[in-house]
Each structure stands twice: as structure tokens, then as C-alpha cells.
Amino acid sequence: MPETWQEGGFGLYVHWPFCQSKCPYCDFNSHVVERVDQRAWADALSAEVARHAAETPGRVLGSIYFGGGTPSLMTEHTVAAVLAAADQGWTLANDVEITLEANPSSVEADRFAGYRAAGVNRVSLGVQALRDPDLRKLGRLHDTAAARRAIEVAQETFGRVSIDLIYARQDQSEEDWAAELDEALSLGLDHYALYQLTIEPGTAFGDRFARGRLPDLPDEDRSFRLWETTQEMCSAAGAPGYEISNHARPGQESRHNRIYWASGDWVGVGPGAHGRLTLDGTRIATEGIRAPGAWLASVRERGHGDSTRETLSARETRDELVLMGLRTRDGIDLDRVARAAPDEPELALDAMKAAGLVEIEGRTLRATEAGRVLLNSVIAEILPD
């Protein structure tokens, strides 16, 4: 029997923790610094790749993802160095997916050809909005015109292009969003990540919200209708939702993200990067030191950048399988759930099934569309205490 992670695949996540400026809604591990020593970072990231490759010998790598922060602030040499280390450590799949997150400014678009030459074959552009006033409110440095140009360059350069948009913004009506989404869909891209704005504690928006200074965010009912509109429009445009916030033309789904949602194994490299590795039958969660300087120093001096490395229990492994897997249209394999935690009580599915929030087909468990929009509650119901 294959180890359960193999059903989810194997990938590499590389975290680039630097940005030009900090967006007010963002709680990612991103930092604004004067200068980055690209050589030093390229070396440290490559060393971490090699370290992890040594503990997972013989595996075939299906995906590499440069996330951030703003990976489009990496030089093409840094990207190339990390990719070379990966190539050396593992066998790259013939159809390996190599994605890089990019901010859609003109400076960054100029680097696209270099990334392509280094091996990147997919970009994810952080467009966020197609309305200039909203881009300003979101604290973004680019405007709509720059974003459109960056999209064009990306389409010419890479085989696959995805854009991120944030909706359910302050004061955003259903009509406004529908019109904006329509413009986005008419770009004819093969992948769209559409996130409802989340107010994260510890961010500038989080503080403003707590002080009552972030008015006119949609209430639950409006945010439901916005979500519904989004699902309908994307389906009609041939890019249906395959995960809560991700939409793609059939076959163009992000292979990398599928590893997370299907509880595959991935190596996480860089400050604050998380990883999951199944070694000798046990599942291990790793996390990098969050502060960039401390991470770099640790890699150099101690030979690794990990802050934690812990073994997940059968129950924790099973819970992750369920709470990640039910986010997708494909759902999860109940046999795999049972195998992950054979001694734990079974999922409590009856009530949610009766309410039409989940469905079972053969041995596949799926959240229905009604269930997906209530997923947090649904999961709390079905995972036994």
C-alpha cells in the first residue's frame, strides 16, 4: 500500500520574506528592509533545500512554489540557484510545475523573462483589485494600468498565469464586484484566486477594525451573496471553483496547492515556512524561524533554519486531512481517513449529510456547495471531540 502522503504528491515551498512595503491587511511573514544580500539568501535557501533532500532521498518532485512576501523581488540568479539545488536534490517530474508569486508592477514585469529562463513556468500575480481607489485603500503600490500590462507580459512569457483578487472590500456592493469580476474573467486567464478580505488580528486593518475605524465591511449576509455571485460567474465563464477561493479552467488547477489540500508531503524552506514530511511512517510538521535575520544566521551557524519540528499524532494527521480536503471540489477518500487514524472514533457525518451539507459517493466524501460556504461549522460538527 502506498504511504498516504503519496496520494497528495510531493512539492517544495520556498518563502521569500521581503516586500517593498507592508500592506495593511497582510499577516504573512513579510518584512520591509533596506537591502537584501541576494547571494547570502541564495546560498542559505539552497543549503536548506539540500538538507531536506538528504532526508527524502529518491523522491520525485512534482511542484516548486516561490511564495512570500514578494518573490518577484528575487533576482533571477537567486531563483536559478534554488532551482538548481532542487534539481540536484531530487528528480524533477517531467511536467514539474514551477510557480512564482509576483507583484504586478512594471519593474517586476521586466524580470519575467529572466524567471522564465531560470525555469519558472507559472506566475501568480497579486493584482488584488481592478479599481484604482480600492488599490490605494488596500495599500498597494501598483495601479490598474500597471497590473494590466503585467498580466499581458506574463501571458506572453509564461504558459500559465493566475491572478489574485481580494473582494468583499469596504463599501463594495454586489453590482460593483460583479462588474469588476466580469472584467477580470474577460481577460481569459486560466486561473483565478478570489479571496474575501479577511481582517487579521495584528495587522493595520486589524487594529483599525478593533477601534471601529474600518466601517462598511460587508456583513455576513452580504458576504454570502458576494461569494455566491462569484461562484456563479466563474462557473459561467468556464472557470468553476475547485476550492473555496480558487477557480480554474479544467486541467489548469494549481498542482502545488493540491499538495496542501490533499495532505501530500512538502518541504518548506525559508523564514516561517511550514513543511510536512512523512518519514518512516510518521508525519512531521516543520516550521522555519520567522525573523529573516535570525533564520539566515541559524542556517549559517547551526546548519538549519527550523524553529520547530514535531511529530503529528494520528488524530492530528486525520484532522488536517479532513479540514484541508473538504475545501476542494474533489473531497476526500474516506478509506484514507480511516487509515490515517484507525483507532480514533469515526467522523460524525449523519447530521451533516441529512442537512445536505456533505455528500458521499462511493468512498468519496465531499462538502456540497451549501456545505462549503459553511465549512468551518461543518468541520466542527463532523470531527469527533
Partner 1 sequence: MTDLSHIRNFSIVAHIDHGKSTLADRLIQSTGTVQDREMKEQLLDSMDIERERGITIKAQTVRIDYVALNGEKYVLNLIDTPGHVDFAYEVSRSMRAVEGSLLVVDSTQGVEAQTLANVYQAIDADHEIVPVFNKIDLPASDVSRVAEQVEDVIGIDASGAIPVSAKTGQGIREVLEAIVHHLPAPQGDRDAPLKAMLVDSWYDPYLGVVVLVRIKDGVLKKNDRVRFMQNGTVHQVDRIGVFKPGMLPVDELGPGEIGFLTASIKQVRDTRVGDTITHEKKGADKPLPGFKPSIPVVFCGLFPVDSAEFEDLRDAIEKLALNDASFSYEMETSAALGFGFRCGFLGLLHLEVIRDRIEREYDIELITTAPSVVYHLYMRDGEMRELHNPADMPDLTHVDHIEEPRIKATILVPDEFLGDVLKLCQDRRGIQLELTYAGSRPLVVYDLPLNEVVFDFYDRLKSVTKGYASFDYQMIGYREDNLVKMSILVNDEPVDALSMMVHRDRAEMRGRAMCEKLKDLIPRHMFKIPIQAAIGGKVIARETLSALRKDVTAKCYGGDATRKRKLLDKQKAGKKKMRQFGKVDIPQEAFISALKMDS
Ligand X SMILES: C[S@@+](CC[C@H](N)C(=O)[O-])C[C@H]1O[C@@H](n2cnc3c(N)ncnc32)[C@H](O)[C@@H]1O
Question: What is the closest distance, in whole angstroms, from the C-beta atom of residue 253 to partner 1 in the complex?
Answer: 14
State how far the Cα of 32 lies from the Cα of 167, in Å rounded to an integer.
Answer: 25
- Residue 115 makes contact with partner 1 by CB under 8 A: no
- Partner in contact with 38, chosen from ligand X, ligand SF4, partner 1, none, beta carbon below 5 to 8 Å by kind: none
- Residue 7 makes contact with partner 1 by CB under 8 A: no
Contact region for partner 1 (CB under 8 A) — 16-24, 135-143, 181-189, 258-266? 258-266
Closest by CA to 130, choosing from 119, 107, 108, 146, is 146
- Partner in contact with 22, chosen from ligand X, partner 1, ligand SF4, none, beta carbon below 5 to 8 Å by kind: ligand SF4
- Partner in contact with 160, chosen from ligand SF4, partner 1, ligand X, none, beta carbon below 5 to 8 Å by kind: none
> Which of residues 8, 62, 68, 104 is near ligand SF4 by CB under 6 A?
68
3-state secondary structure of 61: strand
Q: Whats the size of the chain, residue-wise?
A: 385
Contact region for partner 1 (CB under 8 A) — 99-107, 142-150, 175-183, 191-199? 191-199
Contact region for partner 1 (CB under 8 A) — 16-24, 180-188, 222-230, 296-304? 222-230
Residues 130-189 close enough to bind partner 1 by CB under 8 A: none
Neighbours of 315 (CB within 10 A): 15
Nearer to ligand X, 20 or 307 (CB): 20
- Residue 223 makes contact with partner 1 by CB under 8 A: yes
User: Which alpha helices (H) appear in 237-349, and where do they start and end?
Assistant: 255-261, 292-302, 314-325, 334-340
Residue 55 amino acid letter: E
- Partner in contact with 272, chosen from partner 1, ligand X, ligand SF4, none, beta carbon below 5 to 8 Å by kind: partner 1
Sheet containing strand 358-361, edge to edge, reads 332-333, 364-367, 358-361
Neighbours of 33 (CB within 10 A): 10
Residues 6+ apart with CB under 8 A from 159: 121, 122
- Residue 12 makes contact with partner 1 by CB under 8 A: no
| Surface-to-core class of residue 283, CB atoms within 10 Å of its CB (0-12 exposed, 13-18 middle, 19+ buried) | buried
Residues that bind ligand SF4 (CB under 6 A): 19, 22-23, 26, 28, 30, 68-70, 103, 126
